[in-house]
Amino acid sequence: MNTSAPAVRTEDVWKVFEPNGLQVEAVRGITLDVTPGEFVVLAGPSGSGKTTCLNLMGGLTRPTRGLVFVAGTDLTTLSDPALARLRLQRLGFVFQAYNLLPVLSALENAEFPLLLRGMDRAERRRRVSQLFGRIGLAGLEDRRPGALSGGQQQRVAVARAVVGEPALVLADEPTANLDSATSETLVDHMIGLNRDLGATFVLATHDERLMERAGRLVHIVDGVIASDERRSAPV
């Protein structure tokens, strides 16, 4: 890993899908650098290409052409097993639907990436406990997802994403299933983790409230970057 490299960089990235034989250019020549410690929001309407861009950054889909680097590693050169290892070690993901395992407790869900890495139990529990204290989940460690509110489940998902100290956390519509007050609380916690731990976030959303609080706001329209506004810090 190159610690001086951008957390993520895309170079002239294109993604073309061919549903039913028709070519759809979802992402068209996007070049974007994200510096470690940034809190970046990719904004745009449904179908703009922001989620595809996020998936390319996370190695969940491969570009049709162009290059994608995470912490200096070119994802396009990696085999599928190597890409899976990089996702485990260097990336964190937060999904709209939480994607928690229903048979595991909140703590077990949050520590799961560390378990896959082979980290010992005591260190896993220490890290999760610290995170749960930061984001208002202390005392809920033993609850399964079905016994948690939507906002609590999404905070567990955020904890799972950041617990391994990844180079980059990617979040796709993280507030979409939450009411206004719960969304604000979730964003407060993500900005706090960005500020206090230096966690790098790139989020895709069409939530105006989340756009207003971005440290950097990148508008994507029809698969291209329409504007890129840098602010001093997320608010």
**Would you state the pLDDT for residue 3?**
53
Question: Which pLDDT value is given to residue 1?
Answer: 46
pLDDT of residue 183: 94
- Residue 29 CA, chain-centre distance (Å), reads 21
Helical ranges in the chain per DSSP H: 50-57, 80-90, 106-117, 121-134, 150-162, 180-197, 208-212
Round to whole Å and give the CA distance between 72 and 188: 29
What are the pLDDT digits (tens) for 193-230?
999 999 999 999 989 989 999 999 999 999 999 999 99
Q: 168 has which bridge partners?
A: 91
Position 233 scores a pLDDT of: 79
Q: Which helix (H) or strand (E) holds 8?
A: strand 8-17
Residues of the chain with pLDDT under 70: 1-3
Query: How many Å apart are CA 157 and CA 159, to the nearest integer?
Result: 5
Give the Cα separation of 128 and 147 in Å (integer): 19
Identify the pLDDT of residue 210: 92
Look at residue 155 and give its three-state secondary structure: helix
Q: What is the pLDDT of residue 234?
A: 84
Residue 53 and residue 172 in contact, taking contact as beta carbons nearer than 8 Å: no
Q: Residues near 159 by Cβ (< 8 Å), separated by ≥ 6?
A: 110, 128, 131, 132, 135, 137
* Residue in the structure block whose two tokens are 């639907």: 97
Q: What are the pLDDT digits (tens) for 179-192? A: 999 999 999 999 99
3-class DSSP assignment, residue 91? strand
CATH number of 36-59+88-230: 3.40.50.300
